[in-house]
Every structure is written in structure tokens, then in C-alpha cells.
């Protein structure tokens, strides 16, 4: 049903408008009694429960940052079977993001180009919504909060800006992720340089207190820089690393080059990112200790993709872009595939 709906209706709508329409449905699914009914159809197999970052996850598969920027869809996403929801990217100062249009589908590649620019209502609004969620007993998913630099803040003042967000949000988050890897905020990726990133992460870590802190990196970094950041994160005592964010590469696309050029600048996500994201995951896992959490994202669409990431050393796996192409029961599809894989491995061992 969903492929027909996507092909005949959703693919003809502006991509950002279609996302907002989908979020309305997700928010409705988070309201009683819809949440109970949805959860009855989507609840992950108890065998998929995993413990990472000192937290219990119903499934290792969750939603990456960018899907729910303003903490409005957590209940619905949880009801749909996602084991965690990483909200944001949240900035200390509310901002509208980049001019529209800023989200483009590359349907032949099952990919998306976005240059959203951290559009969000700001850290205080996110904190207010998180407080309401924490007072409720209905939400089940682990909630991570992804924070980024406010656009109006100079790069030289980025540390104080991140600390402001961390101070407001860390007490309400299950974990905090520092985003220094989006290509859509001027100067942001330059913060990934180790000499710049180290003091920034130290300051945010101090502000985060006992909340587990992770850093999210880009797939476009050279291999030696990836290893250096991973090593530094371990040295600083961070809880983990998220690999990877979107890519600025346009290599190997099947979509008409004229359409790709018309979409313009921005981060590419989806299936074309799969191989590079997997390579980065393996590189990071090779240089960090086993107890250091690694969350894999980028090009994840099927249960086989999730299994491949877990086998490569990921503790958790996140997806986003394939949600557009797979529809609302995507997490259920993933979780059922993981459950079958787990059962098959058990039978093989027996």
C-alpha cells in the first residue's frame, strides 16, 4: 500500500511538505488509544533488547537526528517500534534554517539531498517538551538529543553556544550528541579539526555532567582524521561516537545529473552513503575499545543493513532517509527481520 501511495501521491508533493504531513500522522499515532493499538502491531521482539550507554533499548534500531527536530514525534515514533529517537539538531538560539526549497528526493538512488540548516525552535522549547515527556509514563523509547551551533553565532564563539544548549538539555536527555558534521551551517565542519574539537568537547562534557556524551562525524573526513577523532573521543572519556552524518559527495548517483545539479548544495543521505558509512564504522571500531559505544548511521534501509552494521561493531544503528521510501511500518520491518536473523543464528548454533 505505501509504495503505491508514495509513487502516486507523496513523490509529487514538495519533499518538506510531505515530511510535515507524515509528522502529523506520527503525532496522532502517539496519542492514546492510537499508540496502544500501533504498539500492539509493532512492538519489537523482547530478544532484541540491548543495553548500551548504561541504557536499555527495546531494539538496536532507532531514528537518526533530523527527523524530529522539535521533540514533537517521540511518542509516535516509539509506538512505531523504534528503539530510540535522537531528536534535533537543536540549537541554543531558535532559527528558521535555510531558504526553501531545501529538501530534495533522488528517487532512482533512494536518497535525499537536504540543506535544512538546523531549522528548530531552540533549546528552551526543546527542553520544555522534554520535561513534559519525562513527566509522562507513556513514552518508551530512549531519547537522545543532538545539538549544533546556532547560525548567528561566530565559529570562534561556538563552544559557549554548544555549552548553552548542553546546559539546558543534558539533564533531560538520555544521551547528548554533538553535531559538528552537518554541511549546512557555514564553518561547522571546520570544528572537526582535532585541535578545535578537543576543547569544545571538553567544555560540553563538563556541562553535560553525568549524561553520556557522543560526537557525530562526517563521512568525508580523511581516514587519518577519523582515527584521530575516535582516539581523542576515547581519551576525553566520551561515551561514544556516531558514524556518520550526510556526505557532500555526489559520486555514483543514478539520478539525472541535471536534477542533482538543480538540487544544489547540501548533505546527501540514503543508499549511496551505505558503503562509505560502513567503511568509517569499521575504521572507528578498529581504534576504540569494545566498551566505547559506536552508533552507525548512513545508507541503512533493510534488516540486512542493520545486521551488517551490528556485525561490523556497531552497538546501535540509526536510520532516517529510508523512512521516506519504506513508510510508517519501516521499523517493524527492520525489527522483524532482525528477529528472524537472530532466530536463524540460534538455530545454526544449535
- Binding-site annotation: residue ranges: 65-69, 89, 114-118, 146, 179, 184, 216, 244-246, 270, 299, 320-321
182 included as an active-site residue: yes
Report the distance separating Cα 35 and Cα 28, nearest Å.
8
CB atoms within 10 A of CB 56: 12
Q: Three cell numbers at 253?
A: 548517483
Residue 276's alpha-carbon distances to 18, 122, 257, 296, 325, in angstroms, are: 28, 32, 21, 11, 21
- Which residues, at least 6 apart from 23, have a Cβ–Cβ distance to it below 8 Å? 68, 72, 73
Report the distance separating Cα 204 and Cα 213, nearest Å.
8
CA-CA-CA-CA dihedral for 91, 180, 169, 128, to nearest 10: 30
CB atoms within 10 A of CB 175: 26
Binding residues for FMN: 65-69, 89, 146, 179, 216, 244, 270, 299, 320-321
Selected catalytic residue, list 59, 181, 182, 269: 182
Residue 327 CA neighbour count, 13 Å, CB half:
12
CB atoms within 10 A of CB 162: 27
Angle, CA 89 vertex, CA 84 and CA 91 arms, to 5°? 135
Binding residues for substrate: 69, 114-118, 179, 184, 245-246
By annotation, the residues acting in catalysis are: 182
Amino acid at each position: 500500500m505505501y509504495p503505491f501511495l508514495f509513487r502516486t501521491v507523496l513523490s509529487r508533493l514538495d519533499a518538506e511538505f510531505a515530511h510535515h504531513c507524515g509528522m502529523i500522522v506520527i503525532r496522532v499515532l502517539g496519542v492514546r488509544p492510537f499508540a496502544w493499538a500501533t504498539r500492539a502491531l509493532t512492538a519489537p521482539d523482547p530478544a532484541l533488547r540491548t543495553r548500551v550507554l548504561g541504557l536499555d533499548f527495546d531494539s538496536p534500531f532507532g531514528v537518526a537526528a533530523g527527523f524530529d527536530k522539535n521533540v514533537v514525534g517521540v511518542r509516535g515514533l516509539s509506538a512505531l517500534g523504534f528503539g530510540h529517537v535522537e531528536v534535533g539538531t537543536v540549537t541554543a538560539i531558535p532559527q528558521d534554517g535555510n531558504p526553501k526549497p531545501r529538501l530534495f528526493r533522488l528517487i532512482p538512488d533512494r536518497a535525499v539531498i537536504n540543506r535544512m540548516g538546523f531549522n528548530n525552535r531552540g533549546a528552551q522549547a526543546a527542553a520544555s517538551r522534554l520535561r513534559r515527556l519525562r513527566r509522562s509514563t507513556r513514552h518508551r523509547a530512549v531519547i537522545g538529543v543532538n545539538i549544533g551551533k546556532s547560525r548567528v553565532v561566530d565559529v570562534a564563539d561556538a563552544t559557549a553556544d554548544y555549552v548553552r544548549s548542553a546546559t539546558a538539555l543534558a539533564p533531560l536527555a538520555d544521551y547528548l550528541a554533538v553535531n559538528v558534521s552537518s554541511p549546512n551551517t557555514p564553518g561547522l565542519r571546520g570544528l572537526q579539526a582535532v585541535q578545535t574539537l578537543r576543547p569544545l568537547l571538553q567544555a560540553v562534557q563538563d556541562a553535560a555532567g553525568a549524561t553520556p556524551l557522543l560526537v557525530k562525524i562526517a563521512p568525508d573526513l580523511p581516514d587519518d582524521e577519523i582515527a584521530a577523532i575516535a582516539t581523542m573521543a576515547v581519551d576525553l572519556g566520551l561515551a561514544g561516537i556516531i558514524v556518520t552524518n550526510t556526505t557532500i559527495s555526489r559520486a555514483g548517483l543514478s539520478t539525472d545529473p541535471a536534477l542533482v545539479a538543480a538540487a544544489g548544495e547540501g548533505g546527501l543521505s540514503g543508499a549511496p552513503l551505505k558503503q562509505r558509512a560502513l567503511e568509517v564504522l569499521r575504521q572507528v571500531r578498529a581504534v576504540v575499545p569494545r566498551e566505547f559505544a559506536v552508533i552507525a548511521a548512513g545508507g541503512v534501509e533493510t534488516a540486512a543493513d542493520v545486521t551488517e552494521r551490528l556485525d561490523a561493531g556497531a552497538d546501535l544503528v540509526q536510520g532516517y532517509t529510508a523512512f521516506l521510501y519504506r513508510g510508517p511500518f519501516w521499523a517493524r520491518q527492520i525489527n522483524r527481520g532482525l528477529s528472524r536473523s537472530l532466530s536463524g543464528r540460534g538455530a545454526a548454533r544449535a
